[in-house]
């Protein structure tokens, strides 16, 4: 049997934790984060209007409980939004005076809300164009901004730093030597995300992610059905295909090929600006943060941030202090690829674009 002093110490500790939890529940239930001024609310959660709509969208998919100590759905959503926006440590988020929950509860909230967003809201706000009307709107915007015809999106990948996973750890080490997820994003000229693929480890090559993606299958099907005036833009790390235009390596300035490549690179750089805005808006994805979750959960967090990014664009929410992306000509030299029929067909399409628009 334990000594009396140890038993009394344990009893005192349990009572102290019980009183602390009661006080925390009282603080959480009597404080409304929406009473914060707009600037402070935006720093913690982003704008009130967007948060209110987002809560209304997600609440029907959340189960509630009659237990007195359960965390109410709105607080759970705000916890996740605070993490997305700041990328702060879970304990610091939980100890915030307007949240007041434990570190473990913060972790559970982030996982649960990310899963709900991915399952119920992502497809509503992150949509690849499937109709001629949708494609024409995107093509017109690209043509007006960059004088490049037929573009329905630009594709590129970005790395999101993660904690080294337990399983297949070596697959997540990218070319820069740290653990990451390699995330493929397709966006339009307004930086709206049209598709996001957050399922691949950091060592996976961009071209492989593209080759196995559902979007590649979609644009190829449309091409085979006779839609020959739509294509995506990718850098030279991607294969040239009739539905995916790449720049011309070593194209001379003031030539048709040079003008094509310059316009191509300027239009494709919208993906770099999209990455900058996304990571500035949701600091949990920025390069100086590390997502300490399993890769599957990291993928849901990334998908959730992409969904919220599009909601912000829908409401014309600007992000200040975004570093300007260098729009100068940047061409990545691709690995040697043996030409095939698809590459040759893509080359003919690219030559036709150059002759028609850049001579």
Task: State the pLDDT confidence band at 359, using cuts at 50, 70 and 90.
Answer: confident
CB of 218 closer than 8 Å to CB of 227:
no
Which H helix or E strand runs over 220? Answer: helix 214-224
Task: State the pLDDT confidence band at 147, using cuts at 50, 70 and 90.
Answer: very high
Q: What is the pLDDT, as a whole number, of residue 325?
A: 42
The values of phi and psi at residue 196, to 5°, are -140, 135
Q: What angle do CA 272, 255, 263 make, to 5 degrees?
A: 20
Over residues 129-152, mean pLDDT:
95
Q: What is the pLDDT, as a whole number, of residue 94?
A: 66
Residue 318 has pLDDT above 50, yes or no: yes
Q: What angle do CA 315, 317, 319 make, to 5 degrees?
A: 160
Task: List b or e across 331-343, with b for residues whose CB sees 16 or more CB atoms inside 10 angstroms.
Answer: beebeeeeeeeee
Residue 331 has pLDDT above 50, yes or no: no
Instruction: Work out the widest C-alpha separation in the chain, in whole angstroms.
Output: 92
């Amino acid at each position: 049997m334990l000594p009396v002093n140890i038993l009394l110490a344990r009893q005192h500790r349990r009572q102290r934790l019980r009183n602390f939890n009661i006080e925390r529940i009282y603080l959480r239930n009597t404080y409304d984060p929406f009473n914060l001024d707009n600037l402070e609310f935006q720093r913690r959660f982003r704008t009130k209007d967007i948060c209110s709509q987002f809560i209304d969208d997600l609440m029907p998919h959340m189960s509630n409980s009659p237990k007195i100590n359960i965390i109410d759905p709105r607080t759970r959503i705000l916890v996740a939004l605070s993490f997305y926006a700041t990328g702060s440590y879970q304990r610091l988020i939980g100890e915030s005076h307007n949240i007041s929950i434990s570190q473990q509860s913060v972790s559970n909230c982030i996982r649960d809300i990310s899963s709900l967003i991915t399952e119920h809201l992502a497809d509503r706000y992150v949509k690849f164009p499937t109709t001629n009307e949708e494609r024409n709107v995107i093509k017109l915007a690209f043509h007006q901004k960059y004088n490049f015809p037929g573009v329905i999106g630009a594709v590129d990948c970005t790395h999101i730093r993660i904690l080294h996973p337990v399983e297949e750890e070596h697959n997540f080490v990218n070319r820069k030597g740290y653990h990451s997820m390699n995330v493929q994003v397709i966006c339009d000229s307004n930086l709206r995300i049209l598709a996001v693929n957050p399922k691949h480890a950091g060592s996976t090559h961009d071209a492989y992610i593209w080759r196995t993606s559902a979007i590649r299958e979609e644009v190829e099907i449309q091409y085979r059905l006779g839609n020959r005036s739509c294509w995506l833009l990718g850098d030279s790390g991607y294969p040239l295909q009739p539905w995916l235009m790449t720049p011309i390596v070593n194209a001379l300035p003031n030539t048709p090929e040079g003008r094509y490549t310059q316009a191509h690179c300027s239009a494709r750089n919208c993906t770099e600006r999209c990455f900058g805005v996304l990571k500035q808006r949701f600091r949990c994805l920025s390069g100086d943060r590390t997502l300490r979750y399993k890769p599957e959960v990291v993928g849901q967090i990334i998908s959730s941030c992409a969904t919220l990014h599009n909601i912000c664009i829908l409401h014309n929410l600007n992000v200040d202090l975004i570093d300007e992306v260098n729009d100068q000509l940047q061409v990545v030299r691709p690995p040697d690829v043996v030409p095939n029929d698809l590459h040759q067909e893509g080359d003919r399409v690219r030559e036709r674009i150059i002759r028609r628009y850049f001579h």
